[in-house]
Structure formats: C-alpha cells, structure tokens
Amino acid sequence: MPRLAIPVRDDVPEASKPILDAVQKQFGVVPNMLKKATHLADTSVALNRRRFSLGLPLLVAGAAAPQEVVAAKAPSRDEAPIVTYYRTKTIDGMKIFYREAGPANAPVVLLLHGFPTSSHMFRNLIPELADRYHVIAPDYPGFGQSDMPDRATFSYTFDRFGELVDGLLDALGVRRYAMYVMDYGAPVGWRLALKHPERITALIVQNGNAYEEGLKEFWDPIKAYWSDHSEEHRKALHVLVAPETTKFQYTDGVADVSRVDPDNWVHDQALLDRPGNAEIQMDLFYDYRTNLPLYPQVQAYFRKHQPPTLIVWGKNDKIFPADGAYPYKRDLPKVEFHLIDTGHFAFEDKADEMVPLIRDFLHRKIAS
C-alpha cells in the first residue's frame, strides 16, 4: 500500500511532528485468510446398492432442500427497499439533524458517530439493521447537517453533546435503546449510560475508548495541549483537520483501499473546511481531557450492570489501537470480542464481516 505523501514544510510547528509521523507511517497488514474453500467433491461416499435404493428418496429431498432455502432467502421483487428519513428536531434551541429508519415499534438502536465525520458514517449500516430495528443516528453540533453555532455562544463539549442527544431521544419518545459507539461516540454514549443505565439494552463498541490504555503515542501532542492550553500546542493540532489526515483516518491499516469509498474523506473535509469549524474541533480536542476522569465511572457501570456488549474493533487503528479494546474484558467477562483486520473506520471496508456479527448479536440480545 503506498504511503501518504504529506509534505513537511518549514512552517509546521515542531509539536505537530508526532502527528505527522503517525499520519505518514502506514501499518503492515496481513492478508485476509478468512476465506476457505470447501471441496465436497473430494469426499468419497460409499453406498451399496441396497442402501442407495432405500436412501434415494431422502437424497432427492436433501438435494431439493438447499434450493428451497435459497429461494426462501432470495429477496422478493415486491419487497420494498429500506427507506431512511433525514430529519431535524430543535433541542434547546439547537437544530439537531438525524437519520431514522425502521419500524417505529421495533427495538431502538442508537448510532453515535466519531470524528471527523457524522451520521454519514452509518449510511451503509442503517439499511442493514432497519428491517428489524428502529435506527436513529444523530449529528452533533458542528458536525454533519446539525447547527454549527458560533463558539462564542455555544460550548463545544462532550457534556453538551450528551445533553443534546439525550434531549433528542426524549423528544422522540425513546426510553430504551442499544448503542453503537465509535470514536467521539463513545464519550457521548458513556454520558448517556451513566445518566440512564436502565435505558441501555446493549452496547456495540467499534474503536471507542473507555480505558487509558487506549491513548497511545498518537495522543501525545493532544495531551501536551491539555497540559497548558497554550496557543502553540493548539496550533500544532491543526494538522488533525488537514485533508491528508482526514484521508489517513480512512486508509491507514486497510489492506485493500479500493474497498473504501473516497467520497468519505471528501465529504468530511468539506465540512471541516467550513469557516470557523477548525477552531470548533480544537475546542473539542481540549475538552476530550474531561473524558478520562469518567473512565472509572464507566468501568464501574460495566461491572455493575453488565450490559450485553459486542466489540468489533479495527485492530490496525493508530488513533484508538487495540490496546484500548482488551481492557473491556476485565469489566465485561461475557463481552463478545472481535478484532477486525482493518483501521479506524472499520465498517468502511469490513462491512461484510461486521454486519453478520452485529445482526446476530442484536438478534440474540435485544430482538423482541
């Protein structure tokens, strides 16, 4: 896989270099060895004439059965496709955009997106779930299609995001829900779980942190900003909203980049490039420090409530490496744990592996 070409200019702040190094270095990837061929023709079956004559009706029935199964699974031409609705609701004076699909009376699955994207990251997952579940995927303020108020009048914090998502769910009459959390979606989701532990029916965690073990070298420049809130360290983080870094988040650790839609980073970058949005993201990088003191509370929530949990984690992710996935096993001994051979946005190239895991998990844990 070719390396990303990111020019290091003389005017790049020294504190930015660790992030640039992380962006420039690509993981080694292991070819997918999961596909195995089954050769039934190599199996010899010895039947004597008497057994053959007695068993012929069963053999005929058995031969017909797979065709019937295939026919049963084939989609009907009359079957309507899943419809996703694109809606907006005003919460505390803020227009919150959300995608919604599925039967209104079905179990709810809340999808919480990461940085630097929006509910757009779930555009392919929603139709895979909405035949059985009522799926809701909001955009946080400053992301996607939600309002982007001036930072002088609105506090861009994870506390505020949690309050607004909670308000959206209340406005929609949602009282019980499973959560899919990824990246920034994890601290938003953890705030909901701590406030309403009785409402959480299940968790799906994809590269979303709840343990300090998951904050490795990539986070060093961000931690430096946390330490002094200086303008120098703030400027160093602007590389995180650069086009090369946005593309890096989708392609690093991916064995076959042709499986990843390039519209992803084009879409995300267009929103990052809106006037004022870069400084909004800097505010959020600084506020991320408030998540670490919550980790012990989140872990206590895991131990006490034992929510059914599925881990589907891109193991090659440099931003949230697999070091942050393993600790879930300490507090959730029944966690269903899967490391996927891909990077940060695992679903973009590994939907074929992840969808069956997610659907099976939800069917067993929350389907009515």
Catalytic residues: 344
Long-range contacts from 118-123, C-beta under 8 angstroms, 24+ separation? 118/143, 118/144, 118/145, 118/146, 118/268, 118/271, 119/144, 120/144, 120/264, 120/267, 120/268, 121/182, 121/264, 121/345, 121/347, 121/348, 122/180, 123/84, 123/99
Rounded to the nearest 5°, which phi and psi values hold at 134? Answer: -90, 110
What token pair was written down for 134? 């009522």
CA torsion, points 310, 119, 165, 321, in degrees to nearest 10?
A: 40
Q: Which two tokens stand for residue 218?
A: 């990539």
Report the 10 Å Cβ neighbour count for 185: 28
Measured in whole angstroms, the distance separating CA 216 from the mean position of its chain's CA atoms is 19
Separation between Cα atoms, residue 51 and residue 281, nearest integer Å: 73
Distances (CA, A) of 266 to 113, 180, 245, 246, 269: 17, 24, 12, 9, 5
Q: What is the number of other CB atoms lying within 10 angstroms of the CB of residue 232?
A: 12
Q: Measuring CA to CA, how many Å separate 263 from each of 68, 228, 289?
A: 40, 37, 31
The Cα–Cα gap between 174 and 185 comes to 18
Which of 251, 187, 243 lies closest to 215 in space, CA to CA? Answer: 187
Distance, in Å, from the CA atom of 151 to the CA atom of 159, rounded to the nearest integer, reads 15
